[in-house]
Structure formats: structure tokens, C-alpha cells
Amino acid sequence: MARRQQLDDYEVPAAVKTLCATNFKRTDAYGPEEDALLAKVTEAKKRGSQLTMENYREQLKLLNQIEDEHLAKEFGENVVVGPSLEPRRDLVDPVVGGFKCQIAKKLLGSCKANIKEDGGVRMSINRYDGGIKKITGTVDNVDAHNVTIWVEKEFDVHNVNKLEFLVERTTFQMEYRALELLEQNVIKNVFFADSYTGNKSLDYMSFEWFRPSIASNPEQAQAIRNILNQTSFPVPYVLFGPPGTGKTSTLAEAIGQIYKLRPSVNVLAVATSNSAANELTSRLLEIIPEDNVYRFFARSCARKKRDIEKEVLDVSNLRGSTVADSQRFYEKIRPCRVVLCTASTAGRLVGMDIPKEHFSYIFIDECGSAKEISSLVPIVGVGINEGQITASIVLAGDPRQLGPVIPCKYLNDTTHSVSLLERIADKGLYAKNPLTGEYDPNVITQLRNNFRSHPALLELPNRMFYAGQLRAKASPDKTHWAVGWDRLPNRAFPLIFHPVVGEIKQDENSSSMYNEQEAEQVLSYVDTIMNDGICGKKLEQTAIGIITPYARQVRYLKDLLNMRGWKDIEVGSTEQYQGREKPIMLMSTVRTGSKSVGFLADTKRLNVSLTRAQALMIVVGDPETLQNNRHWEKLLQYCRRNNAVFGRSEKPARQVVRQDRERHSERRFYKKAPPTNVGRSRFGGKKVQPEVGEVESKMERLGLDGDC
């Protein structure tokens, strides 16, 4: 039977803790070790500082330790002694099972700001023999009044003497272990290679496609053929998948062809999110027998079983009424040809009773949104044996979209916030040939057919971010039905820029901003769409998505939508929408009356924001503010050239907005003051001075901020 290898603690060194405690400013408490580390951190912070073969392990480890310690400090005070917990059996989903209890937020003091859904919990319980028993659980839900905790088995809540909200360190431990196992020759030959050999023994050229449309897509066919034939070995093969180009379909077809044509080899496919891993699992179950597919979940996912598709659940360790025994489900992995999990969960395979060289291919989907050290977990833990790379690595993603989200602002401008995919993109082996302008197909393929968006919605981001190489190939039935809508300034052009000069505001003790006037304009469009439809087409709430970069605006819009009964219209941050799409997307940019656009200046954020819509895109914002950024100015110019600016005339933008609001003044979206959690604004909120600092916390970029 498999024996699980215990992870070392990999505690953060005292010198790193000292640097973090002093905010990286030298004090008399520094000794030689602290001085040496500070010099290394200072070097890593310099503009243009890069990872090299020489500093690779040391720099990855040091910056990871800083993030590790930052989170430890954030959660260090999240302890409640003698908590008053209330059992809530009525909240337990019978499909999921387990036990739930609640604690009122007012009893949590200052630590409530750091408590987020999916966070870890540890409770110390008094035993009858005088000892202490510790059980772990998960934060199931956080609302305005309570924090709900889920655990696998019921316990007596009255015997809990201490409640701790934890920072999850297991992922950090797996990353440190990957670095520890990584040998210098692998660093040189895999991660900084200047040549490749390929697998000369493989030469598959003829295919019977599971999806016949592959035959007419030259880039997809090329990528699948070269992935199967391991043409890049031992260096990673890069599948560069811009928005809507069928990256997941390409991965599924490649794995399916490996399964069919190489019956003696096994595949590990990982993603940075459970949703992406589930989607790939669903695609594979359409072409591979279910007894050869295994979806491996972390135990913490058990409480979300109802949200997982039944077909995925049935081939996973969560199948049944309880989570499979931690040793038994490792035994189930070995006979399966294709195993899928998240990148961090893949670390749990290390040290198990799985034969060496068991996996011949390792796919990492969404690689562009993972820290480089996180990508090492599946590669080093599973694909390297006795210092040699034994599996073909495939990195899939888009380096032009958002990268890793790092909750420590100090690390924002270091290599710690750069993915492995972004670091190698357009460099060395992965650079375009200066003579032909093409990539080497043996190591990288860029997908070019976009199956998502109307040509007018694709044109600008295609030119700005992909050198005009994408082709609009989506079905007109999917993308053209909004053409002719009477609210379009240009009836043939399904893009609207609606000028609104509002006012940005903040709640007390919050750095996040919201803009009432923009929110109301967004709701005006939603109201029209939901009540009148578009071109005779009635639409469900789920057809509409709203994207806004500020967490406070997300919550403000959600509250207003809920008051109208539109609870299925999804509002999220840019990060939350990456990898997603909707028939209709609306965007509130929030910022107004400022010379700075803040983190809206991030071109990756703009790219993601503009490439989610299939048939209709509506952007609401202040043109006078947005035009201060050259990339947003391109969007404004594009809309002006195509007569897509609402109310465009010789009148100033403010007058246009004022007249539009007067025309729709009979539509009020609330008859009385909204709930207190909507904010105070005109009901008592704090006004913000026009100039706002450009740097926003990475937690806000996740859709989170200190008062979430």
C-alpha cells in the first residue's frame, strides 16, 4: 500500500523574518546574514533583474520565503480564545455531508478582515481525559454577519477552547521541496536550454481526429502532432493560446491522441485552478473511457461536491458519500492512463508508491497565471528522476494575459510575479525567427483562429497584443445577433463606449473605490437588455457578465443587481473573468477626474477585459481620464473612428452624460437608501481626491480587499 511521504516544515529563516519585520530597511539589529540577504533582495528588486542559471534556486526560494512570511504576518493574529460557536446542521448539504458551525463576525475583532472563503481553520478541543484534540476545517462562507466553518465530522462546539484561522502553507512546502529536488543540470537543460534534441523514435504523421474540425486548423494540427512526437524534448513545448483560440480543445485532442496512439504511456494534466482542471476532464471524458481518467481533488474540495459536474465527480476521489481514504485513492491513480489535478495538488503525488517514469507527458494548463516556482511542483516532483528529465513538458497559456497574483506588494516588480511561460516567451528558442517572423514549430505553436468574438470586438486587441495574427472564425450565430440593436451608436458595430463623468468614492478604512454614476449607467443597460431583449432575442441573466477592476465596485454592483432580483448576473474582477466568456460583457472602469488610470494601465488587464465578450461589449468610463493612458486612448480612438461612442457630438462629454441621465431619470434602481454594506457615498460616503496612487494591492486584483 502507498505510504505518503511527510513534507518537511521548510520554516522561513530568522533572517528573512527580520527583513520582513523591518520592511527591508536596515537597522542596528541587522547582522552579516541580514545584510547579505538585503543585498540579494535589493538586487532582485532592480529594474530588469532576471533569473539566471546561477541564481535560479536561490532567488526563487528567497522571494518565496518573503511571500510566505508576509502571509504568516497577515494571519498571525487570527486567533480567538474561547470562541462562541453555534452548530448549524441546517446548512449541511446532504450530498456533501460533513458538519457546519458559525461564529459571529462581531466576535472576531480585527482579524475578521483577513478571513476569506476557502481558508483553513484549526480548532483546539478539550478532551475528557484532560488532553487537547485538534481538528481542521475550512471557511465555507463569509457574509455580513457570520463566518461559517465546514469540517468532515461533527464535534461538540462547546468544548472548543481556541479557534485559529490559518494561512495554508502546504503549497509553499511543496514549492520548497521542488527546489530542493532540482539539480543544476536540469536547470541548464530544461529551463535555460539553448538547444533541444526531440524524441527521434517518434514520427506520427497521420491522424484520425476526434474532432474533425482540427483538420482545417493548421496551428492546432501542428501543435498536436509535435506534442505527441515530443519534438521539443527535453525543453518544454509551449502552446500559446490567445483568447478564444481553442486552447483547451487542443489540449484535449492532444491527450486523446496520446491515449490512442501510445497505449503504453501515461499523462499527468494539471491546471492552476480547479475549474480549468474540471473543464479539461469533461472534454477528455468525451473521447477517453472513464475508467482511464482520474480526477484527483484536494480534500478541501469535498464541501463543493454539488458544484462539480457529476461526470467529473464520478471519476474522482470525491465519488461517494465521503472522501476516499488518503492511501486508497493513491492506489487508484496508478492504473489510470490520464490523471488530472491542480498544480499544487500534484505535489501530493511525490513520494507515493507510483513507479518512476510513470508519466511520459506532463501538461500544465493556465501556466501563465502560475508563479514559476509553482510550475516546478509537477515538473520536478513527477517528471524528473535521478537528475534526468523523463517526461515531455507542455506549457499552455497566454503570456499576454494576466500573470500570477502575489498578495505581497513588495514582490510585484520582481521575478516572483513572472510565470515560467512569460519568462521564456519570445526569448531564445521561443523567439520568432527574425527572417521569417515565425516561431520554431518544434518548440512553440501560437493558435490563431478565434472562435469567440465578433470581428469588431477582436480587431483592436488583435492589433494591440497579437500583431494582427488572429483570425475571426466564430460562427455568426454566436457573434452577430446583437448587430442592429437600437442602442448601438453604430448599428453595424456591437461595441459601445459610454462616457460617464462620475465621482470616485471610498468607504472608511478601505483602499478600494466605487463610482455610483457608472454603476447606475451599467444598470440602465442591464434594465434595457433584460426587459426589452436585443433585436427580438430574449436573454437570460447568465448571458450577461459585468467586469470591473475594483473590489468595492464589484460589491456595489452586486448589491444593486440583487435589489432588482438579478442575482444570476455575474459581476467580477478582471482576474475572476480570465479564461471566461459571456455573450454580453459590460465594463465599469471606475476611475474619473484623475491624470492617472492606476492599475488600469496594465496592458494585460486591458487585454483580458476586452476579450471576454462574444457578441456585445459595453464600456462605461470617463474618457478624459482614460485618454491619459496611451493604450486606453487607442480604445477611445477605435470607438470614435467607428462611431461607437454613445451620444458623440460637439457637446462636452459631461453634458452628454447629464442629458443621458435625464432621459433615463424615471428609472431609479432603488426607492430608498440601499443597505449599509452598499457604502455611504451620496448616503454619507467619503469622497476621494482626484489623484489616487497608481499601485493597488494584489489582493484587490483578486477581487478582494481588506474589508471584503
Q: What local confidence, expressed as pLDDT, does residue 534 receive?
A: 97
Q: Roughly how many angstroms between the first and final C-alpha of the chain, as a whole number?
A: 45
Which pLDDT value is given to residue 48? 82
pLDDT value, residue 328: 58
Residue-level length of the chain: 708
Beta bridge partners of 417: none
Task: Give the pLDDT score at 365.
Answer: 97
Rounded Cα distance between 5 and 341, Å, is: 19
Predicted pLDDT of residue 673: 35
pTM: 0.86
Question: How much is the pLDDT for 651?
Answer: 39
The residues, ordered by sequence, that sit 6+ positions from 32 with a Cβ below 8 Å of its Cβ are none
Superfamily of domain 171-287+328-447: P-loop containing nucleotide triphosphate hydrolases (3.40.50.300)
Query: Of 333, 329, 343, 337, whose CA–CA distance to 361 is shortest?
Result: 337
Q: Which pLDDT does position 699 carry in this prediction?
A: 36
| H helices present in 486-568, as ranges | 516-532, 551-563
Q: Give the domain 455-642 fold.
A: Rossmann fold (3.40.50)
Q: Distance (Å, rounded) from C-alpha 290 to C-alpha 294?
A: 8
All cell numbers assigned to 217: 486548423
Indicate the burial class of 190 (C-beta count within 10 angstroms; 0-12, 13-18, 19 or more): buried
State the pLDDT at residue 115.
Answer: 80
**Can you read off the three cell numbers belonging to residue 36?**
547579505
The single-letter DSSP state of residue 353 is: S
Predicted pLDDT at 322 = 55
For the domain spanning 79-166, the CATH number is: 2.40.30.230
Q: How far apart are CA 301 and CA 295, in angstroms?
A: 12
d(CA 219, CA 213): 12
Q: Taking the chain (708 residues) in consecutive chunks of 10 residues, what is each chunk's mean pLDDT?
A: 66 96 93 95 91 96 96 80 93 88 86 74 86 90 87 92 87 94 94 96 96 96 98 98 97 98 97 94 97 91 87 90 53 87 90 82 96 96 90 97 92 94 96 94 98 98 97 97 97 97 80 91 97 96 96 92 94 91 97 89 95 98 96 97 80 41 38 36 37 34 33
What is the domain partition of the chain in residue ranges?
A: 14-75, 79-166, 171-287+328-447, 455-642
Q: 581 — phi, psi (to 5°)?
A: -155, 155
Q: What is the pLDDT at residue 113? A: 62
Among residues 375, 372, 380, 378, the alpha carbon closest in space to that of 415 is found at 372
| Cα 516 from Cα 270, distance rounded (Å) | 41
How far is Cα 708 from Cα 705, in angstroms, rounded to an integer?
A: 5
Instruction: Tell me which residue of 612, 517, 606 sits closest to 556, measured CA to CA.
Output: 517
- Is the fold of 171-287+328-447 the same as that of 455-642? yes
Cell 489510470 -> residue = 336
Q: What pLDDT, on a 0 to 100 scale, did the predictor assign at position 303? A: 83
Binning the chain into helix, strand and coil, the percentages to the nearest 5 are: 40, 15, 45
Q: Give the pLDDT of residue 5.
A: 59
